[in-house]
Structure 1
């Protein structure tokens, strides 16, 4: 055991005293990785001015992180299983901090694109260790509380990307402009590295070589899928995007067969396909995909409506969105206790509230049109945030609770990947609907009232997805 560790070394069993101090470090890491996924959206105009970036380059600045992050999450989870989750946490956090410096000091748009890809790769090493370490080191009521705090943290990090990020860009801290959204990671990353010794070191008890073939197949398949979902809508869904998705499906089929072959020959696969054949885990993964697809696309559409459509600056737009975080926080604090008391019914009710609040938001924006007064959306935004909190906060604990501790890293990588695929899917579908509603027959982009119509068109996907979440949660509650 490392004599410098303030916690106990563990193989796969939860430690007797849950490491709450270590949890705070894990939550900080979760916040940083998701914050950097969303915060770039509010800094796009500043980046275009400061770097002379084209629209295509800005798209790659956003997509480069998303793509690299999503592609290696499964591998990152498995590496933690094999070599130690705290060790991978430290490697991932150090890499994430360094690449954040590169992003913040980028002299050109192309340099920033490359740095964002490297930052996404670092996040893919770091993020699965957060899930897996909580799954292994906390049990029972402690697990519900820990995952509740994680769900709340991840939701708040996405919201903070809009609110805090908008303020940082507007305030022009130390004259850094958009660069401050990356450089803020440096003190947080150094603190996390210093405190990482309070995270117990855990790894899977059964060691094996890393499945290189599975890693290549899964990474190639995810790359083709995410490139199509992220870049396809921006380019009007050209033919290559559909070929890319088709090739991804072929690679996923090969990955499935290769993983089963490896398992049947006694090896340890990158992803045990029997995990995905478990009905409850499969339903839970589908729920994660749908919930995070609505979250990501909602943030994008709201930012476009407020800033581009209504002409609000990032600070004011973030302030309008801030009350959503109030509803999210209150619901996140209440959700674990309600789930412990009444079970899955609490999440089911939260899903119904979420769907109804999205419907209410659609009606209000539709009625307001070009005369929409943004502050009048605040009450319904509070309810939207509460609905998200009642679902997202306890859902992670429920889904990962379906798997054995020996599969914690593997399941964490799968869930993390599903989150990113869901986010890309939601943005792709909603972005397509949004852009179509903005374009007239002669190709001229129109203004304020049409942005309200575009928001409504995009949010119809979220409404349908939220209703499907409600139905799947009912099925999951009956399957328990």
Structure 2
């Protein structure tokens, strides 16, 4: 990326001198540009979900351990999460189209590296690179839509974005399973990454239809803060991800101590920046607001149940019970449809009942996990995976009842002036929560698999491992439900124009 800052002169070439948007209000709306932005949003979310259905194939072809599978998933999520806020600020500073192209070029290159990775170590490194590139790319999608599509056009554009992201989650399961099962050119799971390459090249050239915009204000870059939080979260995750394979060792305790130290230093450093008048990466004053702090914990808990659930289910269905990737992905179709349908309904329920609607959704979400755990526990080796479809539908629908309005609920706890910072913090917590969920669930799932049994008893072993792994999700969902009921009288926030 060029180091040239998006100055008023560069703005003149692309946009007019509008202080808030940087967009010429007389110019036609860039609907072709919107298509490119939606495509970018699709591939970044698609790659969050598609890996789950391919995990068992990766495990068998690369000889990957459960810890290494955790790195493949959590590496992308953590890298994505820690750089999201910085990615948004870089777009404000250097130009959102420029950062979009840079992020898409990085994402495309990383996808190619994932697809040709000769071993699991290279694949993990490429996944981290892919997450970092996604963090540069994804914030530009939201910012460019917000600035280039005012009023009713903006509501329509964001509606299309929501639909696109929902479809990406479904496609991740179905298309991913189809690609792996088709085994084109004997590439197997590699096709789920290689398919991004032509899409990315097209998006890079088509990005010319996205007007260049940047902020009139010069956002400060807090690189020491980025380094501290990145190193702290990495030091926290590594021993958790390694535990299923290597157990808890002396270096694990040292890493955990380093994580606590780094995160405490991060807290004090961010406070010092704020008090000295410099823009912090994270405004810690927000976390001292009781309701927003509760909201942050809620996001961490709920999102910790997402990727971990898909991982455990893929291992249960494919490795444990022998379903092929397409069959396993197809099982999730009704669940994904329920998620999309309830994503449309949930905002209306939230508008009418406030936080109570999310609390009820969290309660049913918890009961759904309990029902699935009980069903798998009772059936054991005799489980028929297709018999889980009804409870999967319930999980997908209630997950949407929580996740879709949760951001609006939490942002309603802060002033409009703080909403931009708060939104970035919540987005980071979403990805960090998902990565932590994968790590903790992997410990529980792996603790059962480490006992080892005869191949004839494998189905029963994986059923037991799934029950133990999902117990983490049951606890997280239960805590979230309790927290939400303490907020049940919270009214929906007024519509925001940020």
TM-score by length of 1: 0.86
Q: Distance in 2 between matches of 1:293 and 1:232?
A: 18
**Where does residue 102 of structure 1 map in the other structure?**
113
- C-alpha distance in structure 1 between counterparts of 2:354 and 2:23, whole Å: 23
Structure 1 position 168, deviation (Å): 0.5
Alignment partners' CA distance in 2, 1:313 and 1:153:
27
What is aligned with 2:189? 178
Change (3 A) 1:21 1:9: farther
**Structure 2 counterpart of 1:330, from 341, 362, 379:** 341
**Aligned pair partner of 1:411 in 407, 413, 422:** 422
Matches of 1:205 and 1:67, distance apart in 2: 30
Contact 1:68 1:117 in 2 (8 A): yes
CA 1:466 to 1:136, structure 2 compared with 1: closer, same or farther past 3 Å?
Answer: farther
| 2:396 alignment partner, one of 370, 385, 392 | 385
Q: Choose from 290, 294, 299 the match for 2:305.
A: 294
Q: 1:350 aligns with which of 337, 361, 368?
A: 361
Q: 1:359 to 1:126 in 2, by over 3 A?
A: same
Aligned equivalent of 1:461: 472
Deviation of 1:388 (Å): 1.0
Distance 1:363 1:331, change over 3 A: same
User: Using the alignment, how far apart are the partners of 1:89 and 1:150 within structure 2?
Assistant: 16
Alignment of 1:440-455 (within 5 A): 440=451, 447-455=458-466
Task: Check the 8 A contact 1:78/1:270 in 2, yes or no.
Answer: no
Q: 1:478 to 1:63 in 2, by over 3 A?
A: closer
- Secondary structure in 1 matching 2:408: helix
Q: For residue 295 of structure 1, report the CA deviation from its aligned partner.
A: 1.0
Q: How many residues are matched?
A: 478
Give the direction of change, closer, same or farther, for the CA distance of 1:429–1:145 in structure 2 (3 Å limit). farther
Equivalent residue for 2:103?
Answer: 92
Q: Does 1:474 align with 2:476?
A: no
- Quote the offset at 1:311 in angstroms: 1.3
Alignment of 1:26-105 (within 5 A): 26-47=37-58, 60-105=71-116
- Summarize the Cα distance change of 1:273–1:64 in structure 2 as closer, same or farther, 3 Å threshold: closer
Of 382, 387, 412, the residue aligned with 1:376 is 387
Q: Which residue of 1 aligns with 2:3?
A: none
> Is 2:114–2:126's contact at 8 Å kept on the other side of the alignment?
yes
Q: 1:222 maps to which residue?
A: 233
Aligned residue for 1:478, secondary structure, equals coil
Q: Which runs of 5+ in 1 are unaligned?
A: none
Residue 112 to residue 450, structure 1, CA distance change in 2 (3 Å): closer
With 53-62 and 368-377 compared, the bigger mean Cα shift is at: 53-62
Residue in structure 2 matched with residue 246 of structure 1 by the alignment: 257
Q: In 1, are the aligned partners of 2:70 and 2:442 still within 8 Å (CA)?
A: no
2:324 maps to which residue?
313
361-370 vs 227-236, which deviates more?
227-236
Aligned mates of 2:486, 2:207 — CA distance in 1: 39
> After alignment, is 300-309 or 257-266 more displaced?
257-266
Secondary structure class of the residue paired with 1:116: helix
Cα distance in 1 for partners of 2:376, 2:268 equals 48
In the other structure, the counterpart of 1:285 is 296
Q: Quick one: structure 1 residues 135 and 290, their matched pair in 2 at CA, closer, same or farther if it must change by over 3 Å?
A: farther
Q: 1:127 to 1:457 in 2, by over 3 A?
A: same
Q: Find the aligned partners of 2:116 and 2:189 in 1 and give their Cα distance.
A: 10
Q: Give 5+ residue unaligned stretches, structure 2.
A: 1-10, 492-498
The alpha carbon displacement at 1:331 in A equals: 0.7
Instruction: String of CA shifts for 1:454-476, please: whole Å, max 9, x gaps.
Output: 21222222122112222222333
Q: Per-residue displacement from partner, 1:285-326 (whole Å, max 9, x unpaired)? A: 222211111111110111111111111111111112221112
| CA distance in 2 between partners of 1:238 and 1:83 (Å) | 45
- The Cα shift of 1:265 comes to 1.6
The RMSD of aligned alpha carbons is: 3.5
| Cα distance, 1:98 vs structure 2 | 2.4
- TM normalised by structure 2 equals 0.83
| Equivalent position of 1:11 in the other structure | 20
For residues 365 and 212 of structure 1, what CA distance do their matches in structure 2 show?
A: 47
1:443–1:174 Cα change, 3 Å? closer
